[in-house]
Chain A
Amino acid sequence: MLEIDGLDCCYGKVNALRAVSLTVNQGELVTLIGANGAGKTTTLKAISGLLPPVGGSIHFEGEDITQASAKRILALGIAHCPEGRRVFPYMTVQENLEMGCYLRTDRSALTEDMERIFTRFPVLAERRSQMAGTLSGGEQQMLAIGRALMSRPKLVLFDEPSLGLAPNLVERTFDIIMEIRAQGTTVLMVEQNAYAALEMCDRSYLLESGQVALQGTGQDLLDDPHVREAYLGG
């Protein structure tokens, strides 16, 4: 479904990714793990068109999207849940969801999709005209996920969805992501919490200093001595 081959990315003179190759197949849940600054966010930015790569190629369902615009990539079916601040704080819940399919203009399908999201996250329905900034951390996370789903993506990219959430919410978030996958949406997720990421995924890639250091099934990586040593605390 998604094929990345020999991807190079730079921020000015800083080389953030070097010859990164990875594949995500239809229906998989693939995770990207690695230390801070390893290049995980950069990889997702390159896929979603926010950072044009300087070398290599990215194909999505056979189409070359290496230099495509963010808009085009979203229209093709890749949604991105970026790291950091997750919502538009001074827009209502409903407006935030609408931003998720900003590109679409068909109102009726939009309303339908929104109802779908509200059915999935009833708490958002209750707060639909509340400012997103006044929601709790967990609710904001659900809103962010709901927004990503608004564009009916085939592939969703999650960047550190557990960051800054209370432990019970972290678990809830991972459950939601697994549900999304179970319903047929492919997922590529970046996660610092290596143990959780490896437990829940089909396959995983370990990034170190902008390069793929290891790849394999979640179990392969869980068993790998280097991963155990450096990322799972021995």
Chain B
Amino acid sequence: MKTALLCLWLAVLLTVPLWLTDLYFLHILITTGIFTIAAMSLNLLLGFTGQLSLGHVAFFGIGAYTSALLSLGFDLQLTESYRFAVAPKPVWLAFLAGIVVAGFFGWVIGRISFKVRGAYFVIVTISFAEVVRLVALNWVDLTEGPMALSAIPPFTFGIPGLWEETIYKKQPNYYLVLGVAILSYLVIRRLVLSRVGRAMIALRENEPLATSVGIDVTRYLILAAVVSAAIAGAAGGLYAHYVRIIDPDIFLFIYTVTMVIMVITGGKGTLAGPIVGGLIFGILPVVLRSFAGPEIQWIIYGAFMILIVFFLPDGIVPAIRSWWEGRVGPLAEPEPAELSNARPAERQAE
């Protein structure tokens, strides 16, 4: 039953460009896909380890800027006598570098904040995003500041020398985003269903007990932060080469909030949650835009959010699952140990 649903779902996703000929809607789906990937990465931290990264957009933005800068090349006069120049790199290489650099910053943030965690992690991540935004805004030599990085090259596919294809069109971009989304999903799934995932869930559920059975808390949290940041960086890279212009506004807090909303409404700590939440909040604005201004839209989001939290505190996916199980019996394959009200891992000062 579950497999059948999954196949149907995949078939729909794979054939979208064949029957959805309206390019505007395809564009919406592409950006929705990109933000869904980011939401999936946030869910790894927020849902599975219970750590709220309120600066998650920083990793997204770092991936975007790194990938864009490397594919454009840059030339920095660091001191009077020292110049640092990088020739334009192929987009795929720049994209991979963006993932690595974002993952590296995930590691740094994890290292400095997971010794204390909880509220400190929230504060460190918010501040980090703001610092990165200011750097992007003020280091004009590198980032062009508010003038934005433009004419970012799009992805190129093919075998060098034999056949290459640069993708300007929406359809191949759609498949690219879908491919990265599926890959990210599989990575996260693999991680949370493994021993590592079990350790993360144990931490979230009962940290003192988890440490007493020999789980190295900091190590697993850092691992989660690195994977999460790297996937967010991948989403950022996709964004940069699709939209082809980025400016420091990419680091705005509102994007993190959007990701958090996607994860919470969909169902944090479930694999499918961020996908459901991502689709809803990716497509909802388009539907609303036709009859409501931006302010009204935010009010509607807020109301929707309150309704969800009030009536489905665990999010949409767990609610559907329990409704389904109530009628038909347990689903064949359970999600990794779920938590109804995932509390942030209880902090114990030691």
Residues in A lying within 8 Å of B, measured CB to CB: 11-12, 45, 48, 50-51, 69-71, 74-75, 80-82, 84-92, 95, 98-100, 102-103, 147
Contact = CB atoms under 8 A, between A and B. Distances in A.
The 6 closest A-B pairs by CB, nearest first: A71-B214, A74-B214, A80-B212, A88-B205, A91-B337, A82-B212
Contacts of B93: none
Of residues A69, A70, A80, A90, which shows the largest number of chain B Cβ atoms within 10 Å of its Cβ? A90
A50 B205 contact: no
Given A48-B212, A92-B337, 11 more contacts: A11-B349, A70-B216, A85-B208, A88-B206, A88-B337, A98-B198, A99-B210, A102-B198, A102-B199, A103-B214, A147-B213
B202 interface: yes
Contact of B202 (A50, A51, A74, A91): A91
A103 B199 CA distance: 11
A88 B338 CA distance: 11
A84 B206 CA distance: 10
B350 A95 contact: no
B166 interface: no
Interface string B196-234: 001101100110111111111000000000000000000
A89 B206 contact: yes
Contact of A71 (B216, B338, B350): B216
B167 interface: no
Nearest to A44: B212
Contact of A86 (B198, B199, B209, B210): B209
A69 B214 CA distance: 8
B211 A70 contact: yes
Contact of A85 (B202, B206, B350): B206
Given A51-B350, A90-B339, A99 B208 contact: no
Given A99-B198, A99-B202, A102-B195, A90 B211 contact: no
Contacts of A86: 209
A80 B205 CA distance: 18
Given A11-B349, A11-B350, A95-B337, A88 B209 contact: yes
A161 to B, nearest CB: 14
B201 to A, nearest CB: 7
Contact of B198 (A75, A95, A100): A95
A150 B147 CA distance: 62
Given A82-B209, A84-B208, A99-B198, A90 B214 contact: no
A102 B197 CA distance: 12
A70 B209 CA distance: 12
Interface string B307-350: 00000000000000000000000000000011110000000011
A91 B201 contact: yes
A48 B349 CA distance: 16
27 contacts: A11-B349, A50-B211, A50-B212, A50-B350, A70-B214, A74-B214, A80-B212, A81-B212, A82-B208, A82-B209, A84-B209, A85-B206, A85-B208, A85-B209, A86-B209, A88-B209, A88-B337, A89-B205, A89-B206, A90-B340, A91-B202, A91-B205, A95-B198, A99-B198, A99-B213, A102-B198, A102-B199
Contacts of A80: 212
A60 B199 CA distance: 27
Nearest to B201: A91
Nearest to B209: A82
Contacts of A100: 213
A86 B212 CA distance: 11
